[in-house]
Amino acid sequence: MPASEFAPGLAIQGFTPPLSLKDFQLIAFDMDSTLINIECVDEIADAVGMKEQVAAITEAAMRGEIPDYKESLRRRVALLEGVTVADMERVYTERLQLNPGAEALVQACKAAGLKTLLVSGGFTFFTDRIRDRLGIDYTRSNVLEVRSGPNCGELTGRMVDQPWGDICDGAEKRKMLLETCAQLGISPKQAIAVGDGANDLPMMGEAGLSVAYHAKPKVREQAMVAIHRGGLDRLLELFA
């Protein structure tokens, strides 16, 4: 079914508004280019003069042109070797901003009783801070390995395996959404999933409401809601 324009810059397909936030119990967000304004891996790479190369891989991965997301992320992280923790701190303080409407949407959902989940192919250095800043309940993302000993405080170009697995890709985002729903005792159809890239599609496909925010074409086409003008809080226009 083709999407129809509900309001300027806000398209819907597969349902008729208004909805009720009370019908949902969980909202899951991607981070990079969804909750925040940047792709963190690209900005980290700028510290070692590799932004152009890394950004090209990121763009291809988000468009779904690289089928193996894990391999694409390993390739990008390998190019970050030598970046310092101080470099990443500068990315956070000088370049990273919440996207317009992010805080308003999160707070409205929390006020309506929804739990919040942040699932990211990015890194805990940033997701933990966004979690604390917005009061998000659950997170899953990747851990960058940092050297100890000589050159301590520099990235090694590798990631650290975690108890749940190695890399948070699209399959892991879907798994985390389903696990969180099970933990809460709710159906995935009581969840909202918000993202912008191809690796968000697996979790968006499980949710009762899928939302594409300033997203890649493939994601806009498959989402039930596509916001292509304005902030994240435009989603609230669909709720009574």
pLDDT confidence of residue 148: 83
- The whole-model pTM stands at 0.95
Residues near 220 by beta carbon (within 8 Å), at least 6 away in sequence: 3, 11, 212, 226, 228
196 is catalytic: no
pLDDT confidence of residue 2: 67
Distance CA 212, CA 200 (A): 9
User: Taking the domain 4-238, which CATH number applies?
Assistant: 3.40.50.1000
Distance CA 199, CA 64 (A): 8
pLDDT tens, residue by residue, 21-49: 999 999 999 999 999 999 999 999 999 99
32 is catalytic: yes
pLDDT tens, residue by residue, 106-140: 999 999 999 999 999 999 999 999 999 999 999 99
Distance CA 59, CA 205 (A): 21
Residue 3: count of CB within 10 angstroms of its CB: 18
Residue 150 has pLDDT above 90, yes or no: no
Q: How confident is the model at residue 151 (pLDDT cuts 50, 70, 90)?
A: confident
Identified catalytic residue from 23, 32, 132, 137: 32
